[in-house]
A and B are shown apart, each in its own frame.
Chain A
């Protein structure tokens, strides 16, 4: 019996971690290319609403996920054109993207509030997850496995492949990368698009798997937590995985406490925990100076123009 409970807690933890993991992984790649995109929350919301709208209209969750990625890429491209081609300030543009995402998703989603869809289901046949421990391995939906595969993929890409090396070079020293002949701007466009796709997917995980419905501001600041996670992970995909699951644990704890009817702590105070944990984690990262800012790509947030 306790096994079943443990496994169900584990399942909640994995589900709660997955959207932050996806969004943070996308942002990690973007930042490795030297671009700071503060619009993660906005891209997630656009992905969430686009995914829900398409899944609701077509009845296909898969199409919803694809639409969410497309929406994430589309909004990321607005950011890319402004910062890369028109050399706008990255911080300001990222903020604009988040404000835009909140407004646009609320506008598009107005007609979908209160509608329900079939939740994204486990990818493997139910027979495989009859036993609780097997369920812990085979009971997840496709996005969970995809997110884990992406962590491995991004890690290998950045460390072991030539394109990964070039992407890092662009983020560490754009002028040199340009001098050697690498297309700095084009590579950054690609990195921003990848970040957008994963943020969109992460957002859709809320509206298609976690809740599954649409409500204004559905992602509740998870995009910002994803940004903090990248710092926590010192720009390393492996540590990102750890961090995301740690945050998932904090959020699961919050849910469990609520479900268990904890009365000595008000639900509002419980709801503060992920945000306070984020601040605590950022602070601890800085206290251990060895793993602080110096891991950030050297050109992070700086605009590049060839002329």
Chain B
């Protein structure tokens, strides 16, 4: 029979192996579910998880989708480490894009190298401002940041709708609800001829490295972890939980805002009602798949990017509906949380002696 024994120490091997096991199990489960729904399950899973990696022409797209996911997830993960549950990254992402777009619209007849940095700064500040509300409410009034950050996401979506249908509507846009296209100096330069690959990709990698150094090599990173693992010990050690809450929420808001700006000034080139794509929520899965570790998150971001790219492939190869991507991503998170049991428990077969 199966025997469960709690490990004295969580298994480090399993900590890193379980995401891989989870991916394998998700592929298997996905095959079963999609076959049961009447699709070609094998080809569906192949299209989603294998094809994006095998075809080099898909790689730029993988990078473009992974960059915002990684950037947002890095911020979230630092917060999750400290038990700060910012789940409104989607709203901060939208606000970042809105703030950056504001700069782009004000400067639309200007040129200059300084415009993009100014937009990026506005993006970071926009995201931070949106995250500052839950931070303030949690630190000063003990209001759960989970609910407030999420509620603000819905507010941000409506603010976006309001702007693109109202004051920011393109005057030459045939009444379509969208802003004018950004000019050359307001758009991220393409890094590869004829592709969407933009500055966001190296930026995401650089931020991951900085986040890793910050979390593993500095006292600030240590403070975040202690506050999350042992709040009482943190108090005795002189680490301020309030300061950690502020710092992690501002950091994750700022990163989400920057990701939003990159998306607006990169692949979109304007703001439209279709702008919110749910990256802020998918990034939660990325953070967990990456074990809340900045380098693991780069890996997690690429895997989740593959589900987007592969989901599009599967729409043509096996006529899988677009919604399948979302279900697949959530399935991955479920399986991952389930395989966590391997980290905490040693499970073995034992023949019962009569």
Contacts and interface: CB of A to CB of B under 8 A. Distances in A.
- Genuine A/B complex: yes
Interface stretch (B46-54, B65-73, B156-164, B259-267): B156-164
B341 A106 contact: no
B327 interface: yes
B162 A82 contact: no
A276 B155 contact: yes
Nearest to B281: A99
Contact of A278 (B6, B147, B159, B331): B147
A307 to B, nearest CB: 6
B146 interface: yes
Given A287-B141, A307-B6, A107 B155 contact: no
Contacts, number: 131
A283 interface: yes
Dominant secondary structure of chain B at its interface with chain A: helix
A271 interface: yes
A6 interface: no
B330 A96 contact: yes
Contacts of B116: none
Given A86-B337, A93-B337, A96-B333, A279 B151 contact: yes
Interface stretch (B201-209, B215-223, B241-249, B318-326): B318-326
Interface residues of B, number: 45
Contacts of A216: 323
A279 B152 contact: yes
Nearest to B339: A86
B344 A87 contact: yes
A82 B344 CA distance: 13
Contacts of B137: 279, 282-283, 286
B94 interface: no
Interface in A212-249: 216, 220-221, 224-225, 227-228, 231
A169 interface: no
21 contacts: A78-B334, A86-B340, A88-B337, A95-B284, A96-B285, A96-B330, A99-B330, A101-B330, A216-B323, A224-B150, A224-B151, A225-B151, A228-B147, A231-B147, A268-B165, A276-B155, A278-B151, A282-B143, A286-B137, A286-B143, A292-B142
Interface of B: 6, 85, 87, 133, 137, 141-144, 146-148, 150-152, 154-155, 158-159, 161-162, 165-166, 281-282, 284-285, 288, 321, 323-331, 333-334, 337-338, 340-341, 344
Nearest first, the 8 A-B pairs at minimum CB distance are A103-B326, A100-B330, A103-B327, A106-B323, A268-B162, A286-B141, A107-B323, A88-B337
